[in-house]
Amino acid sequence: MKNLKKYLDVSPEVAQALAEGKPVVALESTIISHGMPYPQNVETAMNVEKIVRENGAIPATIAVIGGKLRVGASYEEIVHLGKKGLDTTKASRRDLPVLIARGEDGATTVAATMIIAALAGIRIFATGGVGGVHRGAETTMDISADLEELAMTPVMVVCAGAKSILDLGLTLEYLETKGVPVLGYQTKELPAFYTRKSGFSVDYQVDSPYEVASIFQAKLDLDLKGGMLVTNPIPEQYAMDFEYINRSIEEAVARANQLGIKGKATTPYLLDEIKNITKGSSLEANIQLVYNNAALASKIACELSKLEQE
Ligand code: PSU
Ligand code: MN
């Protein structure tokens, strides 16, 4: 890789942890700028970092700051992105070179966070939900770049499944075609973000952080291209009513279609509209599932770092 140092800006704490083979968990920043309102976004991001530490790993929040690929963003940088909200560029794979050349800021999606994590040598990444195949993709061709990234970049993503703003069946088909393992943590059913159930099955149920780490190690050792998706259901006590949330999602999708919302604006629009339709009650569920994923990702990172030292 040419001149990586010119582009990457890794915090001293994360750099040292990586050099010593300690567990590190990457965290994305679109969830901060576009996924939640201020100030809950900043509060959640800081709590997530704390949870990662409590579970034995080092957090590395990733963003583009002044054209640099920042790994281990500071509190000030997180506040900056959180306050700037939707005015921050939502940065996926295609946006990175432009932001770098222009010296601008960007909040990284799952795809862009995976790229930057891999460049820095981080293997595990925790978030809320991933992008996927949108409903109606057979005519709109709206398929998140997150899926292509999972197909090619060697980073494990721990999430709470995907929101049913997506076509979950088509999303699973796409991941199968691209050779991405979809694991369910202590479940056979794909969780649907706000709910523990979706009506769709994962490829494999896994039951411990060690098991997940050993599957991923085999994938890395064999140099099989791409990442892996670990889907972790929202804790029971925070899960939303299946019928209620699905009705709210239907309403949000219908409104987006009426307004002709397209491209990268679609996912942020739907997230915000669902929050409004549910009068904010979806936000608490969203926050809790992210905490749950951060804890699991950290435990997996600890196991993987032990395996790597054997
Ligand atoms: N899904 C969520 N919350 C999110 C996102 C998706 O439930 O915050 C964000 C993530 O950053 C994800 C991005 O990578 O949206 C996907 O956007 P798109 O569908 O435009 O690829
Ligand atoms: Mn899209």
Residue 310: pLDDT band (50, 70, 90) is: confident
**Annotated active-site residue in 49, 77, 149, 163:** 163
State phi, psi for 52 to the nearest 5 degrees.
Answer: -60, -45
Does residue 9 register a pLDDT over 80? yes
* Token output for 62: 């990733």
Residue 2 has pLDDT above 80, yes or no: no
Q: What is the pLDDT of residue 205?
A: 98
The arrangement of secondary structure in 4-308, i.e. its CATH architecture, is 3-Layer(aba) Sandwich (3.40)
User: What is the residue-averaged pLDDT of the chain?
Assistant: 97
Q: Note the ligand closest to the C-alpha atom of 41.
A: 1
163: annotated active-site residue:
yes
Residue spans of the domains in the chain: they are: 4-308
pTM for this model (two decimals)? 0.97
The sheet carrying 68-71 orders its strands as 8-10, 68-71, 58-65, 24-27, 124-126, 156-159, 228-231, 182-185, 204-206
Helix (H, G, I), strand (E, B) or coil at 9: strand
260 CB burial (10 A radius; 0-12, 13-18, 19+): exposed
Mean pLDDT score, 37-56: 98
266 CA to middle of ligand 2, Å? 7
Cβ(234) – ligand 1 distance below 6 Å: no
Tens-digit pLDDT profile for residues 64-108: 999 999 999 999 999 999 999 999 999 999 999 999 999 999 999
Give residue 130 CA to ligand 1 midpoint distance, Å: 6
